[in-house]
Structures are given as structure tokens and as C-alpha cells.
């Protein structure tokens, strides 16, 4: 099938990796969670100075305030079709074939660096319940904008991206942009975002501390 041949190689690896890591903590991973944690990984790469365009695929924010990537959804569907993931209806789990595929793809240079961000993103589950992480990210500037407008729109562009850089500037001052363990800035940022209510859209008061 042609749609199976055109899967984005970046999102394909990321989807498998995230399902594997989330599954080890939660037992399985829903499609929403795969979108959520790949988006958080993308944000951590942005925090480290990687240009948005180098992530390999893009996200939009839904009017409900959730991140969504067409490439991630296609990668998950393809992985189920190929037998790398198993759909349990409640969520996806990695199969033995999927484990072997991650090991194979993980050796590619394009994926080695991304694993740092994906690992840090999924490791947030060791510090926070998944519901806290989800609600926190819904307060990320781009996702908050989709809620206020009640419309689907591209993420990591325009004014919301500028607001995100302001967040990261405060975050780097608090923990240091060069800190080796990305879990530290990620945890600080998730904590900060979790304290912002939806009624505070556009209010930067309080900062990151």
C-alpha cells in the first residue's frame, strides 16, 4: 500500500520509541500520549537551540488544546500494520518486532541525538502523573492560543513561538541552558506550566523559578 511506503522516517522512530518508554511506566500508550510526549521532546530540542524545521515533522494544536501531528498518527498506524505495535484499544504496546526495529533504527545518526530529547520527555512520567504533564502542556503558549481561538492552527510559529522563547529564556536563567540532564529544565518547566490557569492566557507574570 502506497501510504505505508511514504511514512516519515523521523516520526516513525519517534512513535516507536515513545510507545516503548511510556509503556514501561503506564503499561501502554494512547495516541494522544504519543502526540503529547513527542511534542514535549520537540520543545526540549528547541530549548537546546535546535531549529524547529530540523525536528523532521510538524505539529498543530487542536481547538481542544492538544498537540497533533499527522506524521505521528500515520507512523503509529503504519507500525500497527507492520506488526511493530499492537493495538489494545486502550492503548498501544511494543511487540518483539518493534523492539528489534527500535534497536536497528536507534543506531542511525538522525535518531541518536533525538533519543536524548525523547528520553527526557518520557522520563517526566517518573516525576509527574501523566494527567499533570498533559494539563501543563496545554498551557504552553502555542496550545493556549488554539484554545483561546477555538481553532486548529500550526504550532511553533509566530507570536506563540516568541512567547515560548521568553519562557525558555527565564528557564535557562533558572537552571542553565547548558545543563546536561534535560530532565531538570523539563521538570521545572512542567511545574511552571502546571501553575498557569487557562484564564491567565498571555500573562507572563510569575516567571520560572
pLDDT, position 122: 96
| pLDDT tens figures, 85-117 | 999 989 999 999 999 999 999 999 889 989 999
2 vs 188, residue with greater confidence: 188
Residue whose cell numbers read 486502550:
90
> How far apart are the C-alpha atoms of 27 and 33, rounded to whole Å?
12
Question: What residue spans define the domains of the chain?
Answer: 2-196
The 10s digit of each residue's pLDDT in 13-71 is: 999 999 999 999 999 999 999 999 999 999 999 988 888 889 999 999 998 889 999 99
Q: Are strands 85-87 and 67-68 parallel, antiparallel or unpaired?
A: unpaired
Give the span between the Cα atoms of 128 and 30, in whole angstroms: 17
pLDDT in tens, 143-181: 988 888 877 889 998 888 888 888 888 877 777 656 567
State the chain's mean pLDDT as an integer: 86
Q: Is residue 2 predicted with pLDDT exceeding 60?
A: no
5 pLDDT band, cuts 50/70/90, is: low
| Of the listed ranges 4-18, 32-46, 64-78, 181-195, the one predicted with least confidence | 181-195
Nearest to 42 by CA among 117, 102, 104, 107: 117
Tally the residues of the chain. Answer: 209
Distances in Å between the alpha carbon of 123 and those of 22, 184, 186, 205? 8, 11, 9, 28
Amino acid at each position: 500500500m502506497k501510504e505505508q511506503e511514504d511514512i516519515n522516517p523521523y516520526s516513525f522512530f519517534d512513535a516507536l520509541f515513545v510507545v516503548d518508554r511510556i509503556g514501561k511506566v503506564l503499561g501502554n500508550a494512547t495516541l494522544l500520549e504519543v502526540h503529547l510526549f513527542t511534542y514535549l521532546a520537540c520543545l526540549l530540542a528547541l530549548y537546546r537551540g535546535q531549529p524547529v524545521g530540523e525536528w523532521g515533522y510538524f505539529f498543530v494544536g487542536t481547538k481542544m488544546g492538544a498537540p497533533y501531528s499527522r506524521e505521528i498518527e500515520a507512523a503509529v498506524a503504519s507500525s500497527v500494520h507492520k506488526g511493530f505495535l499492537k493495538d489494545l484499544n486502550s492503548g498501544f504496546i511494543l511487540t518483539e518486532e518493534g523492539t528489534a526495529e527500535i534497536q536497528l533504527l536507534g543506531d542511525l545518526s538522525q535518531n541518536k541525538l533525538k533519543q536524548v530529547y525523547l528520553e527526557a520527555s518520557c522520563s517526566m512520567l517518573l516525576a509527574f502523573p501523566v494527567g499533570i504533564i498533559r494539563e501543563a502542556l496545554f498551557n504552553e503558549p502555542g496550545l493556549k492560543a488554539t484554545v483561546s481561538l477555538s481553532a486548529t492552527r500550526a504550532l511553533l510559529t509566530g507570536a506563540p513561538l516568541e512567547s515560548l522563547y521568553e519562557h525558555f529564556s527565564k528557564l535557562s536563567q533558572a537552571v542553565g541552558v547548558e545543563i546536561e540532564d534535560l530532565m531538570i529544565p523539563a521538570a521545572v518547566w512542567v511545574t511552571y506550566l502546571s501553575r498557569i490557569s487557562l484564564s491567565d492566557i498571555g500573562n507572563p507574570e510569575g516567571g520560572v523559578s
